[in-house]
Amino acid sequence: MARKLSFEKGGDFIAETRREVELYLAPRRIRLRGRLQLYAKTVVAFAIWAASWATLILIRPGLLLGLGGLVAGTILIGFCVQHDANHGAYFRTRRFNHLMGWTADAMLGISSYAWRVKHNVAHHTYTNVDGYDDDVTQTPFVRLVPTQTPRPWYRLQHLYVWPLYSLMVIRWQIGADITALIRGRIANSTLRMPRGWDLAGLVTGKALFIGWAVVAPLLFYPWWVVAIGYVGFTMITSLVTATTFQLAHCVEEAEFASAEQLAAVKKPWAVHEVETTVDFCPRNPLLTWVLGGLNYQIEHHLFPRVAHTHYPRIAEIVKRNAVKHGIRYTAQPSLRAALGSHQRHLRTLGRMGIPADIEMG
Ligand SMILES: [Zn+2]
């Protein structure tokens, strides 16, 4: 079994930043405003989702129109509701957060129980660490970290990665989460079999998802229309989800590490998070609203239990303190710049370490 990784705790940067963020969040009206914005967005997300699904089933205006709304509602639920809730940022109590986070099971078809280990533990604790962060440990399909072994086919990864991104959610819906539960781990993090309410949530969530996404549509449409609709809907939401997460971590400006490198250079955890993460489009309020603040992933990684509606203000504090303490803080000015950087990262890692004869052949 691989070694247990640990980071230095504390440090001046996070101590000062946390103090300032706590000061900003101290007035009750600020916290209340953030919560209300989050809850209002939840209402919009569910309304778009429910109206689109009901229209698809009852009015049947054509797949394109109905699926467009369903994709928009699902993306909002994924980014702005389940993500906050599964981090414990939505309500004060764990039970209610888990209940709201269960929207991942029922609406997205993926186990929120497994997600909390994949995302909150593996990704958020060991960001961009080869073998520990499941999001960047996808060999032998793609090479995202420089320490991963080069393979000839990675030379084309900047092209074939996009269809792979669009299949990520389907993989989880049809059982990658269950396989991880049986294996007992995600990357290097332990994943225990769910029991009691967790198990009930997993089973009823899968059943509900299959019910609304497959069984109910089959009562109104031929099977092949349902198949095309389901695969199309899932591929688009998957592509948007995977790309959003990758733009924050798998870009030229982000740091990567192996377990050995981390052990050699003991770093405070907060510094590691800022250096392995990149913000994008900080001045785009529409994108910030739709992505649930995931374009402010530096702030999200430092304060995952704070509602995402506060991130733009928190970013000012984090940036100022990062500059003060000499920590590299990167924010891509546009979506185009972020996508370009991701594409160049994939190309560079695809080519790096390939012997010359393969390069020429
Ligand atoms: Zn997160």
State in Å: Cα 103 to ligand 1 middle: 15
Sign of CA dihedral 208, 44, 308, 166: positive
Question: Percent of the chain at pLDDT above 70?
Answer: 97
Mean pLDDT for 147-175 is 94
State in Å: Cα 304 to ligand 1 middle: 6
State in Å: Cα 293 to ligand 1 middle: 10
State in Å: Cα 346 to ligand 1 middle: 23
pLDDT in tens, 100-138: 999 999 999 999 999 999 999 899 999 999 999 988 998
pLDDT in tens, 278-306: 999 999 999 999 999 999 999 999 999 99
pLDDT score of 361: 40
State in Å: Cα 145 to ligand 1 middle: 20
pLDDT in tens, 18-57: 999 999 999 999 999 999 999 999 999 999 999 999 999 9
Sign of CA dihedral 240, 148, 138, 130: negative
Sign of CA dihedral 339, 341, 344, 346: negative
State in Å: Cα 298 to ligand 1 middle: 10
State in Å: Cα 324 to ligand 1 middle: 26
State in Å: Cα 120 to ligand 1 middle: 6
pLDDT score of 358: 46
Taking the CB of residue 315, how many other CB atoms lie within 10 A of it? 20
State in Å: Cα 358 to ligand 1 middle: 39
Question: Per residue, what are the HEC states of the chain?
Answer: CCCCCCCECCCHHHHHHHHHHHHHHCCHHHHHHHHHHHHHHHHHHHHHHHHHHHHHHHHCCCHHHHHHHHHHHHHHHHHHHHHHHHHCCCCCCHHHHHHHHCHHHHHHCCCHHHHHHHHHHHHHHCCCECCCCHHHCCCCCCCCCCCCCCCHHHHHHHHHHHHHHHHHHHHHHHHHHHHHHHHCEECCEECCCCCHHHHHHHHHHHHHHHHHHHHHHHCCCCHHHHHHHHHHHHHHHHHHHHHHHHHHHCCCCCCCECHHHHHHCCCEHHHHHHHCCCEECCCCHHHHHHCCCCCCHHHHHHCCCCCHHHHHHHHHHHHHHHHHCCCCCCEECCHHHHHHHHHHHHHHHHHCCCCHHHHHC
Cα atoms found within 13 Å of the Cα of residue 69, Cβ hemisphere only: 19
pLDDT score of 355: 54
